[in-house]
Structure 1
Amino acid sequence: MFPLETISAKMLDYYVDRKDSLIIDLRDEKEYAEGHVKGAVNIPYGKFDEYRKLPEKKVLVLYCDRGGASLMLARQLAKKGYMTRSVIGGFRAYRGRNLVISS
């Protein structure tokens, strides 16, 4: 079992640039389409159980809107043996260089 780690929204840019990380946006499809972190895959929290192909050797960096859902899911995944990071404050706290906004 890996420990759950929380990271600041500012630290997200560090993980975006790493090949050993997978950034996961847990918000719904509409929210993701309006804006997200570059390279993030969208797996809505309510549909996460349907998603079966999580890479076991990558750090899973999860964010939601404000941080609550990502913290709960990161804790569950860490108990299953995944390396996880949860973004404190979620997408609302992120102001980094990898922000993608739809126009």
Structure 2
Amino acid sequence: MFPVETISAKMLDYYVGRRDTLIIDLREKEFYMHSHVKGAVNMPYGEIDGYTAFPKGKILVLYCDRGGASLLLARQLAKLGYCTRSVIGGFGAYRGRNLVISP
């Protein structure tokens, strides 16, 4: 098992808007369209084909629905030299000020 830094859902707000960070929402598109963290890009976990789509040199903050898929992907990416963070509890635990909800 490869160690990965985990962060609380509350800590996610610290990373929003930072130039050195890419926030990735791993949930399915319909869930992302309903609500997500401001600035997050949607890359559904089941649709990720390889790891070339991720920029090197940025902190990759990953979240999914409850935290399991983001932790798995964060471990895989960390093994490849990416700097990753996985949100404990996933989007379900997020109650921050950067929540985007579509009408």
Letter in 2 for 1:26: L
**What does 1:6-85 align with in structure 2 at a 5 Å threshold?**
6-49=6-49, 52-85=52-85
1:52: Cα distance to partner?
Answer: 2.7
Per the alignment, in what secondary structure is the counterpart of residue 84 of structure 1?
A: strand
1:17: Cα distance to partner?
Answer: 2.8
**Is 1:93 the equivalent of 2:93?**
yes
Letter in 2 for 1:74: A
CA gap of 1:51–1:78, structure 2 versus 1, over 3 A, is closer
Whole-Å separation in 2 of the counterparts to 1:51 and 1:81 = 11
Letter in 2 for 1:94: Y
Aligned residues: 102
The percent identity for this pair of structures is 75
Q: TM-score by structure 1 length? A: 0.94
Whole-Å separation in 2 of the counterparts to 1:62 and 1:46 = 14
Whole-Å separation in 1 of the counterparts to 2:39 and 2:51 = 18
Consecutive unaligned residues of structure 1, counting only runs of 5 or more, are: none
Q: Which has the higher helix share?
A: 1
RMSD of the alignment, in Å? 1.4
Contact 1:29–1:44 under 8 Å retained in 2: yes
Whole-Å separation in 1 of the counterparts to 2:31 and 2:52 = 22
1:46: Cα distance to partner?
Answer: 0.5
1:49: Cα distance to partner?
Answer: 1.7
1:51: Cα distance to partner?
Answer: 6.1
